[in-house]
A and B are shown apart, each in its own frame.
Chain A
Amino acid sequence: QVQLQESGPGLVKPSETLSLTCTVSGDSISGYYWSWIRQPPGKGLEWIGYIYYGGSTNYNPSLKSRVTMSVDTSKDQFSLRLSSVTGADTAVYYCARESSSQFDYWGQGTLVTVSS
């Protein structure tokens, strides 16, 4: 059974950089696209972007200038960095596996609050 687990600080100060890591277990990270998706409290879902295990990326244009994703296949991990955060970036951040154009496995989500 594939499992994903997000990790990282739950509190980030405005203007700083949010950093999260997703650890994949139960299967190799190879061969798939891996996405980050976020959900502000009480609101809907927003796709942030994906990274392929080989390292290619595709980011949501709405966030592209602030997003960097990376992958470490030796650790079966991939990461998200979102710079210059504001209160609008407060959300539950999910990592998810994309398989044949659908998100079939998700992490449990981690709440990141942007506040001084």
Chain B
Amino acid sequence: DIQMTQSPSSLSASVGDSVTLTCRASQGISIYLNWYQQKPAKAPKLLIYAASTLQSGVPSRFSGSGSGTYFTLTISSLQPEDFATYYCQQSYNPPFTFGPGTKVDIK
């Protein structure tokens, strides 16, 4: 199985800050990397697919980059609705695996 790790596990930030979340894969996965946002008691929501493509309807303050084993998700100018947990997920090979998540909360 491909193992996914994320860092940091949590971070505190203020509205208007820019934050970068990191995701690493245990082996190369090309750009088969997706990012999801999950709020408490809600289903995850697809934000970015194929490492850097913004899902329809997702604000442009979200951006993704990377390939191979190293990926980042950047949220520029955090908004109150962005405080949530973010998961990366590899779709390179089944079993599809998720990272443990990064929780972004309000400083």
Q: Is B a genuine binding partner of A?
A: yes
Interface residues, chain A, CB within 8 Å of chain B? 35, 44-47, 49-50, 58, 60-62, 94, 98, 100-104, 106-109
Would you give 19 A-B contacts (Cβ < 8 Å), ordered by A?
A35-B96, A44-B101, A47-B95, A47-B97, A49-B95, A58-B94, A60-B94, A60-B95, A94-B43, A101-B32, A101-B34, A102-B46, A102-B50, A102-B55, A103-B34, A103-B89, A104-B55, A106-B43, A107-B43
Q: Which of B11-34 contact A (CB under 8 A)?
A: 32, 34
Residue with the greatest number of chain A CB neighbours at <10 A, chosen from B46, B55, B95, B101: B95
- Considering only CB atoms, which chain A residue lies closest to B94 in the complex? A58
Query: Which of B44, B46, B91, B98 has a CB less than 8 Å from the CB of A46?
Result: B98
CB of B68 within 8 A of chain A?
Answer: no
Nearest Cβ on chain B to A47's Cβ, whole angstroms? 4
Check if A61 sits within 8 Å of B43, measured CB to CB. no
Interface residues, chain B, CB within 8 Å of chain A? 1, 32, 34, 36, 42-46, 49-50, 55, 87, 89, 91, 94-101
Nearest Cβ on chain B to A3's Cβ, whole angstroms? 11
Nearest Cβ on chain A to B39's Cβ, whole angstroms? 12
A45-B44, A47-B95, A108-B43 known; A102 vs B101 contact (CB < 8 Å): no
Check if B95 sits within 8 Å of A103, measured CB to CB. no
Query: Which of B43, B49, B97, B101 has a CB less than 8 Å from the CB of A101?
Result: B49
A residues within 8 A CB of B98? 44-47
Check if A45 sits within 8 Å of B49, measured CB to CB. no
A46-B98, A47-B95, A60-B95 known; A100 vs B49 contact (CB < 8 Å): yes
B residues within 8 A CB of A101? 32, 34, 49-50, 91
Nearest Cβ on chain A to B26's Cβ, whole angstroms? 16
Check if B95 sits within 8 Å of A45, measured CB to CB. no
B residues within 8 A CB of A94? 43-44
A44-B87, A47-B95 known; A102 vs B49 contact (CB < 8 Å): yes
